[in-house]
């Protein structure tokens, strides 16, 4: 089941981030996003009452930027992340968003492949975006 993220989900989001990325945006960042930021839109994928992934965007006017997207490694490769991305894109479209931007590690070929299958187009490179690694910037017109 895909649903809007809640404050009570933060500990699960941090846990998943650490499993996937070895670091996290942090509890305080996520708390601010979920409780204070009117432009933030976060969704979780819940399976058997367990949060197994999440995606977050900031949507301002007709533009949105993906803040983070991760699925527990145990559930990757099953199409669940694709479902979560599709749900989010449909939601953003309903908000009249026309353009979505995201960054992805240059080394993350799996994510790049999924974004490209979903219609995102590689735009440019952000040098050292991830401290020691460049990021590809992808854009999709909704």
pLDDT given at position 22: 85
Residues pairing with 45 in the sheet: 2, 53
Q: Indicate if the pLDDT at residue 109 is higher than 90.
A: yes
Q: Indicate if the pLDDT at residue 27 is higher than 90.
A: yes
- Tokens 């981030």 label which residue? 17
Among 1, 101, 11, residue whose Cα is nearest residue 57: 101
Pairing relation of β-strands 135-141 and 50-60? unpaired
Q: What is the pLDDT of residues 58-80, one digit of tens each?
A: 999 999 999 999 999 999 999 99
CATH code, domain with 114 = 3.40.630.30
pLDDT given at position 121: 97
Domain count, the chain: 1
pLDDT given at position 35: 97
pLDDT given at position 23: 86
Helices marked H in the chain — which ranges? 10-21, 27-35, 80-94, 109-117
Q: Indicate if the pLDDT at residue 131 is higher than 90.
A: no
Is the four-CA dihedral 135, 51, 15, 74 of positive or negative sign? negative
For 77, the domain range is 2-141
Residues 46-54 have a mean pLDDT of 96
Sheet with 63-71, edge to edge strand ranges: 2-4, 40-47, 50-60, 63-71, 99-105, 135-141, 121-126
Q: Indicate if the pLDDT at residue 30 is higher than 90.
A: yes
Residues 38-56 have a mean pLDDT of 97
Measured distance CA(54)–CA(84) in Å, rounded: 8
Residues 133-137 have a mean pLDDT of 96
Residue 9 vs residue 23, higher pLDDT:
9
**Which residues form the catalytic set?**
103, 115
């Amino acid at each position: 089941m895909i649903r809007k993220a809640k404050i009570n989900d933060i500990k699960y989001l941090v846990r998943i981030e650490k499993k996937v990325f070895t670091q996290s945006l942090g509890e305080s960042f996520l708390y601010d996003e979920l409780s204070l930021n009117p432009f933030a839109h976060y969704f979780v994928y819940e399976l058997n009452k367990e949060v197994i992934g999440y995606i977050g965007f900031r949507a301002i006017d007709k533009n949105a930027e993906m803040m983070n997207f991760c699925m527990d490694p145990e559930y990757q490769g099953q199409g669940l992340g694709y479902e979560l991305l599709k749900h989010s894109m449909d939601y953003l479209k309903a908000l009249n968003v026309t353009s979505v931007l995201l960054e992805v590690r240059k080394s993350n070929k799996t994510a790049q492949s999924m974004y490209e299958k979903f219609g995102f187009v590689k735009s440019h490179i952000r040098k050292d975006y991830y401290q020691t690694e460049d990021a590809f910037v992808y854009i999709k017109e909704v």
